[in-house]
Structure 1
């Protein structure tokens, strides 16, 4: 008996059917059956279903002799279902990645309720996805985790979509629930389901992408078929009449019915013009026939909705149409005036900014920002904290969106972007610090100091070096870019490589500060207690190896493109590992494609990537600049480069990270699993690679970078050296690499290198003998060296060889 039975009724959807079926069969949770019901489709849908069934034993196909509609097709599939829970999926929609895993976990956590209600999101014809439809109604904390409709009456306000719920099959059999024929078949199904379920639970997660078709949908087809909605509500209230204990819900359902009639009547694409008056008369009769008893009030609502319902109940077709036209005209006028209001506001703020520029500079005000308003982080945050410590009388303000205001520490003023206070601060601040460029309308004043900290060591091409890579440049205005860099007074560099790149990619008359990256100071000042605290906050078990997986984004492939099979990785590594997944901040709102049970923690929303590094034992990344920062911890790194050649050609890179890597390089999932499972990431050879990498890219990151920046920029203690770079030896001097003691790895005292791990059984069988050691030792496909060898393994990978 599978955990889930996914029922897909199919009729005239051959253009979308492959995508629908693939979204189910590609789930990382495999305990399910898929039942495709061919509702006598005249196109090739039947053949498509048969092909999938021949290729995958989880697929069952039922061919109906005649077309009966969506409801009877679902009933046929339900009768064949064997799963604990039944799911319905329309054949032009798709199941979101990780849905079945998330549903299984939520069902287990809520003791297998009768019904689990989840969220969905629209999927538009251009490939874009809309936001979650009902996050507020389904959010945790709005009611008990498990209850009845009496505990969560707001669920009756959800659209009556059958595919937005998971149903316990025993519950459907117990209540003898079936779909009726005709359109709007979800109405007499969904409400009885909610009313009769003894246990209800919710999952505030998008599980279905609801396709918004440009044409061909039943709901966008004009005709008299929409009059079938009256029969469906007759069935619903007949069900209610047969269950006297449910009569208390009549006012709620009556409101839903009235709103539904109003929506159909207001939709130009549904009813012919000649049928609208008749529809309103039928709606009036239905409202009168099913109205609640006198004196029984429904749930409270807005005055606008009450007026709309009153017009439907009275059948006033002309007045209703007049108000509908007036509402559409008001919305259209507001939409046209919105750009005008925006322009007027911008003009007023610009005039205000010019006025503030006439006032004297505030010598004690410093303004900071990072990552286009994403909160308190990166190099500017480290500089801001050190400035408050060392600079007497300094007042600091931080530019960020209101959603990120809670990340600001006490004593730091919040500036909302494009507000009057924001433009006042830009006009009058003596110091400005950012890791991105300030807005184009900002004009630097004489006496202002602008420090560009950047946000990492560059591996990929930046600035003017993107001229030859249009896909990565994405319409970048290079002339404007140079205008912005001409405003910089200082450009912060973390290593000689960065100095050369910044001065070529951003050729402007600024002064380079070769001081190191302030955001990496914490790697040298954090204690074992700090490491233990962060691991406890992340719920990382003791004596478990924490792998931080932090990939970068691809300019040539918008959206989240999974490069690593997380479910397979977690399953292969077993309980002695936990994987922390940190998506790129460009993709922070998209979620993971899969959520395996245990062994994986999504840390994308964590405010500090530095704390995540402290909590981890090993970093796995592809081409992210985080590898340069993480090397300061002197902990193992693994480069996962499955698409290195494509990335290098599309974006451009300054060196080949696969030959100058800080540790082992995995060109695929198999190699990565081998490297982690066998401990090849922590061999002597891996340490040697990391040491060379640190020598080249971490020469000035010693825990005092922020202090050097503040003393030079804010206090003026380190004079420039003849127009060239200001070197880190000024104040305070750099601690030699051999004398640094980075934060201790989890469970080890400071300064102690990580022990060589005991190899675990490998997950693959492709091995070969290692010529660098005795014949009794063999290396995995990761090109790692045997524990007894001290030089790079010279064996070549041979996918076809095995022993």
Structure 2
């Protein structure tokens, strides 16, 4: 029998679940079992639990057939728990290192009490860790016994009434038949009865739980809805417990007072009960107050004084904001005509048949937005579209598109009136989201390098980033497109908000499955490649620690060493386009072709026999073609330290390295001369890489997006299994 059963229910928390489980499994105390309860989560939580269970025998997994809610999911975990003590951990929170060992030692010192209470700290997206305001209650004092009943330490009832800041002896829980009820305030009828019934309680002066403060969508109790009316049923259950245990009658006045305070907190909070339901809420609160008022106790008004509550605080904050904003408001009113025009447009109805597209900070149409746009024209031609493209780059855009320049009158009109917005980066701050509009963030690659909030620890890349503004932009997203589960887990963690993830694959990769031999030949001919030539696409990523583009290879020398049958297609990163103009292209020498200005990296990939990449996301896209990939990483240590990475592409591990690896130019030459670039080992590594990262790319990603986002279809087109897909043939096939 383990000492601890750590019960972790999970529902829609795949981005945080791994960190939660790691925090338990990496504890210095190993005398525990971890019970993961998959509450019929529609995302990857169940799969994550299973992966951990396959690696660690201490993990047991329970998959519930239907979603039952947090309380009943905990009950299901308790039913199979075998530990002496129960510990409940929410799946987006973590245990601090050494906590189980500290708890075990405290239990030993205090004779294995029925309940042990410990402290927590709130953790925020910006890295702040703030211990609870009740930390003083845990500090030892001469008048505080080590073991006590709650009557001796009534001050502990001031603590946050949650289940996860305590451990409970299993025999005590079974004796009283404690179980969680259904509902959203399920902790209330658990915590009060357990504390009141316990004959031996102790505390631990330690932060055991890091309580994650999610920005959006993490807690139903932090949303405005009718679900907060559940609190009345839960307090009825608390008093039913007292009714069944007459020895607890003395607690009625305190419970009555705490209940009314709880009602007041919920009812007066501006982000809990909707304004049009607040009157009904307080009427029910008054009935509950009267129903549970002890004989002879004074009446307590649940409404209280709103000016001293959170509504009053919100009102005072709003007044201060208005006072400080007045000069800015005056400037806007007297501002440019275009801004006035935009304000007028925002007052007009949203146009349900208008979509705005952009890619790569208003560069010419490309990437996922371009592929989605093409499919939208096919499946929903009635939806009009406008592309945001810088005026000096519009000549590079395909003919027949409506183009608007950033900041122009036409731009302000479409961003004010459109229903749909599609971008692979964020729209600028001057395009605030209107109610009823739909924003799709497609992203532009599977991340090797650190992204979003993770850049806070990497000043070379994140020093100029305003993370507060970044998150405000993320809050506009309704959908986030993902090419694989690996990306999903990263996006949801580093861009935390309430959007819905679409695991549909990348539309820009559809062409790798729709193209045939004719398209491959046409791609090569458009570049002037001769039959029999071996084209190597060299596509390095951006170096944040450098101000300008400089190939890490002497491309002419490298190609010459390989022989005359090799041609190198040199593709600089798009953020270097000021140094690699759009009209740049052509031979740099007899065997090197500069394709930095080519409008389509997908066409270049179709034409290439192999890819030479470093840490670029093009690696994951090119893997769809099942053609050789060589990683050339001569600055791995510098890049890893300055930008940070999620993957070690040089490790040689299946599912992480896509093929042969070279650290120097000479090693790279040898990779090709020896045939290692396309041997059985490279094929094996590429297969594992494709299985992990190309799981949703099957040629129909754009269709899934259009049907879900624009046409409102609920059931996506099924993903074709990897072994049934046929990518475009190799050039020599």
Shorter-chain-normalised TM-score: which range? 0.5 to 0.7
Q: Does the CA contact (< 8 Å) of 2:333 and 2:340 recur in 1?
A: no
1:398 and 1:636 map into 2 onto residues whose CA distance is 35
2:674 pairs, out of 674, 678, 689, with 678
Q: Does 1:480 align with 2:469?
A: yes
User: What are the superposed Cα offsets for residues 350-370 of structure 1, whole Å, 9 maximum, x if unpaired?
Assistant: 222111000111111111000
1:431 and 1:736 map into 2 onto residues whose CA distance is 31
User: What are the superposed Cα offsets for residues 145-189 of structure 1, whole Å, 9 maximum, x if unpaired?
Assistant: xxxxxxxxxxxxxxxxxxxxxxxxxxxxxxxxxxxxxxxxxxxxx
Q: Does the CA contact (< 8 Å) of 2:585 and 2:593 recur in 1?
A: no
1:518 and 1:407 map into 2 onto residues whose CA distance is 21
Matching of residues 706-745 of structure 1 within 5 Å:
706-718=702-714, 730-745=715-730
Q: Does the CA contact (< 8 Å) of 2:586 and 2:593 recur in 1?
A: no
2:596 pairs, out of 599, 604, 609, with 604
Following superposition, the deviation at residue 731 of structure 1 comes to 2.3
Q: Does the CA contact (< 8 Å) of 1:567 and 1:595 recur in 2?
A: no
Following superposition, the deviation at residue 747 of structure 1 comes to 2.8
Q: CA RMSD in A?
A: 2.0
Q: Does 1:694 align with 2:679?
A: no
Q: Max radius of gyration: which structure?
A: 1
> Secondary structure at the residue paired with 2:336?
helix
Matching of residues 139-288 of structure 1 within 5 Å:
none
Q: Does the CA contact (< 8 Å) of 1:375 and 1:404 recur in 2?
A: yes
Matching of residues 353-752 of structure 1 within 5 Å:
353-591=342-580, 597-659=589-651, 660-718=656-714, 730-748=715-733
Following superposition, the deviation at residue 447 of structure 1 comes to 1.0
Q: What's the TM-score once normalised by structure 2's chain length?
A: 0.53
Q: Does the CA contact (< 8 Å) of 1:567 and 1:594 recur in 2?
A: no
Matching of residues 69-148 of structure 1 within 5 Å:
none
Distance 1:391 1:595, change over 3 A: closer
2:404 and 2:628 map into 1 onto residues whose CA distance is 39
2:396 and 2:728 map into 1 onto residues whose CA distance is 24
Q: Does the CA contact (< 8 Å) of 1:562 and 1:593 recur in 2?
A: no
Following superposition, the deviation at residue 648 of structure 1 comes to 0.5
Q: Does the CA contact (< 8 Å) of 2:658 and 2:685 recur in 1?
A: yes
Distance 1:346 1:633, change over 3 A: farther
2:559 and 2:335 map into 1 onto residues whose CA distance is 50
> Secondary structure at the residue paired with 2:347?
coil
- Number of residue equivalences: 396
2:334 and 2:531 map into 1 onto residues whose CA distance is 55
Q: What's the TM-score once normalised by structure 1's chain length?
A: 0.48
Q: Does the CA contact (< 8 Å) of 1:362 and 1:430 recur in 2?
A: yes
1:406 and 1:697 map into 2 onto residues whose CA distance is 35
Q: Does the CA contact (< 8 Å) of 1:566 and 1:594 recur in 2?
A: no
Matched residue, 2:89: none
User: What are the superposed Cα offsets for residues 588-612 of structure 1, whole Å, 9 maximum, x if unpaired?
Assistant: 2425999753111000000000000
Distance 1:595 1:386, change over 3 A: closer
Q: Does the CA contact (< 8 Å) of 1:416 and 1:422 recur in 2?
A: yes
1:595 and 1:344 map into 2 onto residues whose CA distance is 55
1:352 pairs, out of 330, 341, 360, with 341
Following superposition, the deviation at residue 562 of structure 1 comes to 2.7
User: What are the superposed Cα offsets for residues 295-337 of structure 1, whole Å, 9 maximum, x if unpaired?
Assistant: xxxxxxxxxxxxxxxxxxxxxxxxxxxxxxxxxxxxxxxxxxx
User: What are the superposed Cα offsets for residues 667-709 of structure 1, whole Å, 9 maximum, x if unpaired?
Assistant: 1101111112222111011000000000110000000000000
> Secondary structure at the residue paired with 2:683?
helix
Matching of residues 288-327 of structure 1 within 5 Å:
none
Q: Does the CA contact (< 8 Å) of 2:562 and 2:672 recur in 1?
A: yes
Q: Does the CA contact (< 8 Å) of 1:464 and 1:505 recur in 2?
A: yes
Q: Does the CA contact (< 8 Å) of 1:546 and 1:616 recur in 2?
A: yes
User: What are the superposed Cα offsets for residues 89-142 of structure 1, whole Å, 9 maximum, x if unpaired?
Assistant: xxxxxxxxxxxxxxxxxxxxxxxxxxxxxxxxxxxxxxxxxxxxxxxxxxxxxx
Q: Does the CA contact (< 8 Å) of 2:422 and 2:440 recur in 1?
A: yes
Of 560-569 and 382-391, the range deviating more from structure 2: 560-569
Distance 1:586 1:618, change over 3 A: same
1:346 and 1:541 map into 2 onto residues whose CA distance is 59
Matching of residues 59-70 of structure 1 within 5 Å:
none
Structure 2 unpaired stretches of 5+:
1-330
Matched residue, 1:4: none
Distance 1:438 1:671, change over 3 A: same
2:445 and 2:335 map into 1 onto residues whose CA distance is 33
Following superposition, the deviation at residue 345 of structure 1 comes to 11
2:357 and 2:485 map into 1 onto residues whose CA distance is 25
Distance 1:529 1:406, change over 3 A: farther
Following superposition, the deviation at residue 534 of structure 1 comes to 1.2
Structure 1 unpaired stretches of 5+:
1-341, 719-729, 749-803
Following superposition, the deviation at residue 392 of structure 1 comes to 4.0
Following superposition, the deviation at residue 558 of structure 1 comes to 1.2
Matched residue, 1:9: none
